[in-house]
Structure 1
Amino acid sequence: MSVDQEINVTIDNFPEGEKSFVEIPFEVGSDIERIEVAYHFPFGGGGSVIDLGVARNGRMRGWSGSERGFITIEEDRATPGYDCGPLSGAWHVVLGIVKIGPACKVDLKIRLIRKRQRWLVGELHSHSEHSDGGVTVLDAIHRARSGRLDFLAITDHNTISQNTIRPDDPGILVIPAMELTSFWGHSNFLGLAQPVADWRCRGPHEVVDRMVEARSNGATIVINHPFQNSAGGKWQSGFDGPFDALEIWNGLWTPMNAQALAFWQELLVMGRQIPITGGSDFHLKNRRRHGHPSNRLRVTGSSIGDILAAVRAGRNVVSFSPHDLTAEPVEAEHPDFGARVASGTTIAISFGGLANGDEIRVVDEAGYRDTIRPETSQFATEIKFSSRFLRFEVWHGDEARLFTNPFYAE
């Protein structure tokens, strides 16, 4: 496993004196998820005043004067006063030499934190007052943070104004998004503040055109509630256009979700390797809660782009709540959900938070191949992979509790 990089520098020579700058270079590779900079200099009786900032590829990316001794920068969040954004490139710590006291020196530490795998849980389908959600963006973020979610997509209908409102240095990643809402179905465009130039669709073919446009701009696309019982909510634009995932669980478990689950199984049997998502589709008036259902993603890194890459790869477990019920590979060397695996590979899955009466169902192209009734809340199972695909469900009677994405044959 690669280790983090640490650079320690002591600066005690200021050739241009006061009212000058000293720059300390360092390189950041594509495998880095966070930059940390800490510095210390004599103050008080020493009289030194040294300001701090950073630059990337010759452009300033932040400045905090002498007010902060520690700052961090990631792709999608940063210490106030610093700009988030791309990390790879040629960087400099920029010291502003305001006043040089007796025996002045600066002890500088730069740490480059490498990307690592982690489980992040969050919401991919919700609304605010910018369409029909009934709450402000900041209220929506507060509700999601109160539910201990790591990320939130506010997917307002055919509008992007919600994407301009972002809190300072949030403890939650807010994914820019829009729900394309047409007379022929709804789909989420995730990851872009403005995924399309004009959302209007005058037929199913134009829905597909908007999907093509959003995909070409870099959006991750999810077809929402394909069997919703409404004229415009039901998906009627075909499944040949570009999309990355299918929302099979929307809000409370209902017959429309059961239809979506059955249809997804049909697509898998046909050879379509389509990841799934869930979404609360929160509106204040429907009394739903963010993260019910939730998306628990195996993410490499900590950015919005890393989260959406996990959605597209199918490294997602859709559960009835964010933290109560989990499923994950037993050890790091076992393949992730969504992975292509060789016949004979041992699939080892650990379940946590099971309740009395829960059933684990094992599903492949023939349907339900096994039902396990665990007697403890923590349970692990091993299965030799020998199918075209293999996935897991947890049920409590007729109540859906959890769905994994499949493992696929190589």
Structure 2
Amino acid sequence: MSTAAEEFNFKIDQFPEGEKSFIELPFTVSNDVERIEVSYHFPFGGGGSVIDIGVAQHGVMRGWSGAERGFITIEENRTTPGYDRGPLPGQWHVVLGIVKIGPDCKVDVTVRLVPRKGRWLAGELHSHSEHSDGGVTVYDAIHRARAARLDFLAITDHNTISQNTIRPDDPEMLVIPAMELTSFYGHTNFLGLNRPIVDWRCRSPRDVANKMAEASANGATIIINHPFQNSAGGRWQAGFDVTFDALEIWNGLWTPMNEQALAFWQVLLVSGRQVPVTGGSDFHLKNRRRHGHPANRLYVEGTAIADILEAVKLGRNVVASSPEDTMVKPVADITPPFGEILPQGATVALEFSGLAIGDEIRVITEKGLVDTIQSTAGRHLLERMLECQFIRFEVWHGAKPRLFTNPYYSE
């Protein structure tokens, strides 16, 4: 994957078809590009020139801004207003609309293709709005997520998708289309699609499994929610031999149901299953929870919603108590992201930050808790050799969890 941006520069001083014509400037976008940036300049004011601009992909217009904007950005899921979201790879053209040609008219156009790169993002994967029982508008939910300094938000309203039709322009927030399948036999989130299934009604646990398979076949990312919730419908009753991508082990405030989910996840790992985990505030206005508490701190390759969901499925997630609290990251160039399969004997090097005196770092394998380290400073560098089936890490302050990593697995 390239690390340097590719740049194309065009200088136009000939207009063979005169005014009321178009000039197209070609460029190609590869799979490793995450953002297209287009800027242009032409004499204006006393020069009298008027040159409009837009872009086309595969011969079809993807947006137009006239002469209003001198700088345009296009990503898969967020763009300058006036431009369509969508996949980037393919053949593109900058399209110049030649409205008026003034004296000595020249147009300078620069196209910059920014490559995909790894970054840490924080976000919410389980929340609600007034489209079910959340008590706030979609706009309010996005405002709350921004105030919590989140990068992405999934509004997972119960058995409805109407919230997915509201996509306000907000370049600072990726809003993931979602739905929470809410059945008599448990709840599960479908992420990434405006309409993941045709009909949500489930009359048996087998129906739940079938709906999950349908959503997965359509391309949804599936998370089983609060599997040990103490309610008749909230407790998971459809089994774990169903189609799902991750398990929510931290829902809202830390309670016994989360303790049970954490313990059950350990059982699954010991049995040999590689199950990624997530957290979610499960925000409803009436339950006084806050977006991003807990938060999903994801290592993501790119800026698109698809990149976020791929990171969820790969287990590149640190489930932390908040977006800005205690954190742990693999040491660059030594250890890959969480969720990876490593050779036996590989060194896992991690840097913990935001620690408080009294925090306890726990090292856990298939043998259970194998080591604890008491924090004496805000940062701690930890190295362990992978000599086990899997290894994962937790931070606690007394009886309160601060974070859980997904595991590293051995070959």
Task: Give the alignment's TM-score, normalised by structure 2.
Answer: 0.99
Give 5+ residue unaligned stretches, structure 1: none
Number of corresponding residues: 410
CA distance in structure 1 between the aligned counterparts of 2:46 and 2:171, rounded to whole angstroms: 36
Alignment partner, residue 44 of structure 2: 43
Displacement of 1:374 after TM fit?
Answer: 1.8
Task: Tell me the amino acid that sits aligned with residue 287 of structure 2.
Answer: N
Residue of structure 2 equivalent to 1:260: 261
Q: Does 2:30 align with 1:34?
A: no
Unpaired segments ≥5 residues, structure 2: none
Q: Equivalents in 1 of 2:371, 2:116: separation in Å?
A: 37
Kept in 1: contact 2:334–2:349 (CA 8 A): no
* 1:53 partner amino acid: G
Deviations 1:180-209 (A, max 9, x none): 000000000000010000000010000000
Q: Does 1:405 align with 2:392?
A: no
Q: Distance in 2 between matches of 1:373 and 1:108?
A: 57
8 Å CA contact retained: 2:331, 2:349 = yes
Tell me the SS of whatever aligns to 1:14. Answer: coil
Question: What is the letter of the counterpart of residue 402 of structure 1?
Answer: L
Partner SS state of residue 91, structure 2: strand
Question: Map of 1:198-213 to 2, 5 A cutoff?
Answer: 198-213=199-214
Show structure 1 runs of 4+ deviating over 2 A: none
Instruction: Tell me what 2:165 maps to.
Output: 164
Per-residue deviation, 1:332: 3.6
Shift of 1:324: 1.3
1:319 corresponds in structure 2 to 320
- Report the CA distance between 1:130 and its aligned residue: 0.2
Q: What is the deviation of 1:148?
A: 0.6
Question: Aligned ranges for residues 300-319 of structure 1 at < 5 Å?
Answer: 300-319=301-320
Structure 1 residue aligned with 2:132: 131
Q: Does 1:237 align with 2:238?
A: yes
Question: Alpha-carbon deviations, 1:8-47, whole Å to 9, x = none?
Answer: 1101111100000000000000100000000000001110
Corresponding residue SS for 1:262: helix
Report if aligned partners of 2:126, 2:154 keep a CA contact under 8 Å in 1.
yes
Distance (whole Å) between structure 2 residues aligned to residue 207 and residue 169 of structure 1: 34
What letter corresponds to residue 20 of structure 2 in structure 1? K
> Are the aligned partners of 2:251 and 2:279 in contact in 1 as well (CA < 8 Å)?
yes
1:78–1:169 Cα contact (<8 Å) kept:
no
- 1:370 maps to 371
Quick check: 1:54 aligned with 2:55?
A: yes
- Is 1:248 matched with 2:213? no
CA contact (8 A) 1:20 1:97 kept: yes
Counterpart secondary structure, 2:145: helix
Deviation at 1:170, TM superposition (A): 2.9
Q: Counterpart of 1:136 in structure 2: which amino acid?
A: T
- How far the C-alpha of 1:381 sits from its partner, in A, is 0.5
Contact kept? 2:348, 2:383, Cα under 8 Å: yes
| 1:95-115 per-position Cα deviation (integer Å, ceiling 9, x unaligned) | 000000011010000000000
Q: How many angstroms does 1:129 deviate by?
A: 0.3
Residues 189-243 of structure 1: per-residue CA shift (max 9 Å, x gap): 0000100000000100000000000000000000000000000000000111110
Deviates more, 1:321-330 or 1:247-256: 321-330
Cα distance in 1 for partners of 2:223, 2:306 equals 15
Residue by residue, what CA displacement relative to the aligned partner does 1:304-354 show, whole Å, maximum 9, x if unpaired? Answer: 000000000000000011111111101144121000001111100111111
SS at match of 1:371: strand
Matched to 1:32, the amino acid is V
TM-score normalised to the size of structure 1? 0.99
CA contact (8 A) 1:41 1:106 kept: yes
Cα gap change, 1:169 to 1:52, in 2 (>3 Å): farther
Q: What pairs up with 1:4-403 in 2 under 5 angstroms?
A: 4-403=5-404
Q: Alignment RMSD, CA only?
A: 0.6
The alpha carbon displacement at 1:384 in A equals: 0.8
| SS of alignment partner, residue 308 of structure 2 | helix
Preserved contact between residue 7 and residue 110 of structure 2 (Cα < 8 Å):
yes
Taking the aligned partners of 1:373 and 1:30, their CA distance within structure 2 comes to 45
8 Å CA contact 2:124, 2:281 repeated in 1: yes
Task: Return the letter of the residue paired with 1:226.
Answer: P
Q: CA deviation at 1:169?
A: 3.8
How far apart in 2 are the matches of 1:317 and 1:160?
28
Asked whether the equivalents of residues 53 and 64 of structure 1 are also in contact (C-alpha less than 8 Å), the reply is yes
Q: Please give the alpha-carbon distance, in whole angstroms, between the structure 2 residues aligned to 1:51 and 1:11.
A: 13
Distance 2:354 2:313 in 1: 26
CA apart distance, 1:4:
1.1
> Per-residue CA shift, 1:111-152, capped at 9, x if unaligned?
000000000000000000000000000000000001110000
CA contact (8 A) 1:319 1:402 kept: yes
CA distance in 2, matches of 1:334, 1:316: 15
Given that 2:334 and 2:348 are in contact with CA atoms closer than 8 Å, whether structure 1 keeps it comes out as no
| Amino acid aligned to 2:233 | G
Q: CA deviation at 1:160?
A: 0.2
CA shift in 2, pair 1:317/1:114, >3 Å: same
